[in-house]
Structure 1
Amino acid sequence: MPGTDRLQDLRALVTGGAAGIGAAVVRRLAQEGAQVAILDRDAAAAEALAAETGAAFAAVDLTDFAGVREAIARLGPFDIAVNNAGVDQHAFFTQTTEADWRRLLAINLEAVFCVTHAALPAMQAQGFGRVVMIGSEAGRLGSRGGSVYAAAKGGLVAFAKSLAMENARYAITVNTVLPGPVDTPLLRKAVAAGGDKLLAAMENATLLRRLGAPEEVAAAVAFLASREAGFVTGETLGVSGGMPLA
C-alpha cells in the first residue's frame, strides 16, 4: 500500500513521468520509499512534480538519445527503470505518413531501447534490477486507427521478453504492463474531440465497463518494481478491466 517502505533505498527512473500514468507511477514509487528521477520534455510539469514528491528530474526529449544518455549518467545509476513515455495518433494506416511512422516508433520503441541500454549495465554490475515497460492492450489486441502505435507496443512486449531472457543471470527482471483505457488528460482530450460515443466505446471495451485510473496502473508497476516480485519476469500483465475478454 502507499506509504510502505518496500522500495526503500531503491533508485527509480520514470520516463514521461510528468503527467498521466507516469505521474501516478512517480508518486506511488516515492510513497513506497524509492528515490525517483523523472525524464520528461515538459520541464515545468516535471519540476512541479519533483517538488511535490522529492524526485529529481531532467527535461529531455526522449528522441534525443545523446541527451537521454547524459541525463541517465548524471542522475543514475538506477535499480528500477520504468519505460512509460509514449505517444499515440489516431488515423487509419493509409492516412499516415513516413514521418508519422518514424515519430511513433522513435518515442514508443526506440527511446525505450536507448533508456534501457543506458540503465542496464549498472544493474548488471550490481546483480539486481527491475525493468518495467508500460505497453498497451493495443500491442496485444491491435488497434483500429492505431496500427503503427500497436506495432510499436507489440514490439515492446517482444523486447521485454528478450531482455528477460538475457538478464535473468544478473537477477534483473523485465516485465510489461498493458493498460487499457485509462482516465488521463490525454484520453480526456481525445474524448473531447470524439464525444460521448467515444467515451462509451472505451468503457464498453472492458469487462468492468469503466475507465481505469492511473493509480491502478501505478500499483501494478510498484509491485513489479519491488523485491517481492523477484520471481516474476518475462510477463505481460494487463491492467485493462478485462479487455481481452470483453
Structure 2
Amino acid sequence: MSYKVAIVTGAAAGIGAACSRRLAKEGVAVAVLDLDAERCADTVKVIKDAGGTAIAVGADVSNRASVKAALEQVREQLGPVSILVNNAGVTDFTPFEELTDERWDFIYAVNVRGIFILTQECLPDMKAAGWGRIVNISSSSAQTGAINMIPYSSSKGAVVTMTRSMAQEFGPWGITVNNIPPGSVMGTIMSEANRERFQIPTEVLLQTIPVRRMGEPDDIANACAWLCDERSGYVTGQTIGVNGGRVVT
C-alpha cells in the first residue's frame, strides 16, 4: 500500500478526533482508536465523507492484550503502522493528601504505560520501514505544575522525558518522536472539566494567554500533522508548545 497508516489514540472526540481528521486530509489512512470503537463512529464518518480512509478501533491502551488485538485489526484492514499519535489520557483533581494508591496507579496506567505499550507494539512496523513518526500529547501542566492535579501533571511530565529518550533511541531507524503539550484548548473533555471545577471566567483565563484566545483542537492537530510529515524529518525529541504563549520556553 502506498499510503501511510496512523493510529491516533483517544480519538473519539476533542484533540484526538481533530488529529485524525487532519492526518486523513493529508492522505494518511487513520485508525481512530478509543476505549469503545462505537464512540469513534462520528470521527470515522466525517473522514470518509470527506474522501479519506479511516476505521474505528476499540482498545484499552493500558492493557497489552487489548492493544495487540487492536493492532491486528489495523494491520489487517489498513497495513503496517508508520505514524502513532499517543493522545489518550485521563485527568484527576484529587487533593494530594486524599489520593489513593489505586487512583495514582490508574492515572499512570493510562497516561504513561499506555504510551509505553502502544509505542513498543508499533515500533517493529516503523523499524521495518526505516521510517516512523511518533507524537506524544502531554499537557502544559507538565511544564507549570497544577494544584490538585499532582498525578496528572507528573504523569504528563513523564511523557516529556519519555519523548526525549525515545527520540534518541529510535532515531537511527528514521523514527522521530516529539511531544505537544496543549494549553487551554476548548472543546475537550479535560479542558471543560477544568473550567467547570475551578470556575475560571473566560475573560480572566484569556489574560493569561498572550494571543488572547482559547485554543481549538485544530490548533493541536495542525502541529501534529506537521510533526508527522516528511518536512519535519530533522525535528525530534522536541516539546512543541501549542498554547498561545501561556508557557514560554
Work out the CA distance in 1 between the residues paired with 2:248 and 2:19: 26
Is residue 119 of structure 1 aligned with residue 115 of structure 2?
no
Q: What residue ranges of structure 2 are gaps of 5+ in the alignment? A: 49-53
Are the equivalent residues in 1 in contact too, given 2:181–2:241 (CA < 8 A)? yes
- 1:188 aligns to what? 192
Deviation (angstroms), 1:42: 3.3
- 1:58 aligns to what? 57
TM-score (norm 2): 0.90
Q: Deviations over 1:189-233 (max 9, x none)?
A: 4434443x3544543332223210000000000000001111100
Deviation (angstroms), 1:140: 1.5
Match of 2:61, SS state, is: coil
Are the equivalent residues in 2 in contact too, given 1:69–1:114 (CA < 8 A)? no
Structure-2 change in CA distance of 1:201 and 1:119 (3 Å): farther
Structure-2 change in CA distance of 1:199 and 1:93 (3 Å): farther
Work out the CA distance in 1 between the residues paired with 2:98 and 2:204: 22
1:1-16 paired onto structure 2 within 5 Å: 9-16=3-10
Are the equivalent residues in 1 in contact too, given 2:38–2:56 (CA < 8 A)? no
Deviation (angstroms), 1:133: 0.3
Work out the CA distance in 1 between the residues paired with 2:111 and 2:203: 26
Deviation (angstroms), 1:29: 0.5
Work out the CA distance in 2 between the residues paired with 1:235 and 1:161: 7
Counterpart amino acid of 2:39?
Answer: A
- 1:20 aligns to what? 14
Structure-2 change in CA distance of 1:156 and 1:189 (3 Å): closer
Identity over aligned residues, as a percent?
A: 36
Matched residue count? 238
Structure-2 change in CA distance of 1:102 and 1:127 (3 Å): same
Match of 1:236, SS state, is: coil
Deviation (angstroms), 1:25: 0.4
1:222-233 paired onto structure 2 within 5 Å: 222-233=225-236
Structure-2 change in CA distance of 1:138 and 1:194 (3 Å): closer
Over 6 Å off, 4+ runs:
none
Structure-2 change in CA distance of 1:116 and 1:201 (3 Å): farther
Match of 2:241, SS state, is: strand
Q: What residue ranges of structure 1 are gaps of 5+ in the alignment? A: 1-7
Counterpart amino acid of 1:146?
Answer: M
Is residue 141 of structure 1 aligned with residue 159 of structure 2?
no
Work out the CA distance in 1 between the residues paired with 2:244 and 2:196: 22
Deviation (angstroms), 1:164: 0.6
Bigger shift: residues 85-94 or 102-111: 85-94
Superposed CA RMSD: 1.7
- 1:89 aligns to what? 92
Match of 1:176, SS state, is: strand
Are the equivalent residues in 2 in contact too, given 1:181–1:203 (CA < 8 A)? no
Match of 2:30, SS state, is: strand
